[in-house]
Amino acid sequence: MPPDAEALAEADIEAVAEQVFVALADPSRRAILAALASGGPATATDLADRLPITRQAIAKHLALLAEVGLVTPEPGERRRVRYRLRSAPMQVAQQFLAALARDWDGPLGALKDHLDRSAHGPATTPHPSRPGAT
Amino acid sequence: MAFPDRIERTVELAHPPAKVWAALTTAEGLGAWFGNEAAIDLRPGGSARMRWSEEGYTAHMQVERVEEPAVFGFTWHIFGLPEDDPRRTYVEFTLEPAGAGTRLTVTESGFAQLPDDLYRKAYDGNTDGWAKELGELAAYLDAA
């Protein structure tokens, strides 16, 4: 990739991750996204029935989420707009979390112990740790 | 906020590079300190896997660089992303002699790679496809 495209890509990926985290910082939006993830596409009215949030507030949040591309509006029954979760931005944010969740210190400590053990005596039960687990 | 693309750690080990190399590149070594069980075909393009039995998790790796006893590199799946996501990070171990021991550096890079545009289209196309197919199934059941 040429440097310009790379810089642009980095700006893009940061912007996408930021939008996801901003959206998730609000408990109402978190509840709406969680409802769409678990129950599938829904209208503002469907969501108002399921969540302790007014229909008006839900409509406002959905408009904001649609604007940043976290949900997609699509035609539903009786000319009501249904909203569907877009997973692509979530996966970008997940990449960011994957970097934060990666634990190399645990495995490197285990490597050190393993080498010391095998040098100084019989092997004992190792304590492996999965990278990414904390 | 900078999206962390690369993670780097260096440790000093009181063992010669040959011994560290064996711990990093053999099934016996990897299965002892990293996972619970491992298999490895140690050549560029060869595949390797590690299993963590307690978590029931298996990592599949592809060996990329084998320069005994100095550089060992592989790619693996980005932890937390769906299994079918094609993005992978690259892990490289470099071993340098340091006195009687080894200075071991591990770098893992590629966390900030942008999802490929084609991939994104394919993915969206795929989810649209599923919605469409579920719609078709519903229509079929309604008609029956």
pLDDT interval class at B118 (50, 70, 90): very low
The mean predicted confidence, pLDDT, of chain B is 84
Among the partner-chain residues B4, B59, B127, the one whose CB lies closest to the CB of A99 is B4
| Chain B residues touching residue A6 (CB < 8 angstroms) | none
Among the partner-chain residues B1, B11, B29, the one whose CB lies closest to the CB of A108 is B11
Mean pLDDT of A33-47: 95
CA separation for the pair A107, A42 (Å, rounded): 44
Class of domain A3-101 as given by CATH: mainly alpha
Q: What is the pLDDT of residue B114?
A: 66
ipTM greater than 0.85: no
> Lowest-pLDDT range, A8-12, A42-46, A93-97, B56-60?
A8-12
Asked if the peptide bond before residue B69 counts as cis, ω within 30 degrees of 0, the response is: yes
User: Over the stretch B54-104, which tens digit does the pLDDT of each residue have?
Assistant: 888 899 999 999 999 999 999 998 877 877 888 899 999 999 999 999 999
pLDDT interval class at B123 (50, 70, 90): very low
Beta strands in B1-144 (DSSP E): 6-13, 37-40, 47-52, 57-67, 71-77, 88-98, 101-109
User: Chain B: residue nearest A12 by CA?
Assistant: B114
Where in chain A do CATH 1.10.10.10 domains reside?
3-101
pLDDT interval class at A72 (50, 70, 90): very high
| Chain B residues touching residue A112 (CB < 8 angstroms) | 11, 13
Segment 105-124 of chain A within 8 Å of chain B by CB = 105, 107-108, 110-116, 118-119, 123
Say yes or no for a CB contact (<8 Å) between A88 and B124: yes
Q: Tell whether the model's pLDDT for residue B122 goes beyond 70.
A: no
| Chain B residues touching residue A39 (CB < 8 angstroms) | none
Q: What is the pLDDT of residue A78?
A: 82
Axis crossing angle, helix B17-25 with helix A105-120, rounded to the nearest 10: 120
pLDDT interval class at A134 (50, 70, 90): very low
| Separation in Å, CA of B44 to nearest CA in chain A | 23
Q: Tell whether the model's pLDDT for residue A4 goes beyond 80.
A: no
Q: What is the pLDDT of residue A8?
A: 54
CA A61, A67, A68, A69 torsion: positive or negative? positive
A87 in contact with chain B, both atoms CB, cutoff 8 A: yes
Q: Tell whether the model's pLDDT for residue B1 goes beyond 60.
A: no
Q: Tell whether the model's pLDDT for residue B119 goes beyond 80.
A: no
Say yes or no for a CB contact (<8 Å) between B4 and A119: no
pLDDT interval class at B19 (50, 70, 90): very high
CA separation for the pair A78, A73 (Å, rounded): 14
Residue A28's alpha-carbon distances to A14, A35, A36, A62, B139, in angstroms, are: 23, 11, 12, 10, 34
User: Chain B: residue nearest A102 by CA?
Assistant: B79
The mean predicted confidence, pLDDT, of chain A is 85
| Chain B residues touching residue A10 (CB < 8 angstroms) | 3, 112, 114
For A131, other C-beta atoms within 10 Å of its C-beta total: 20
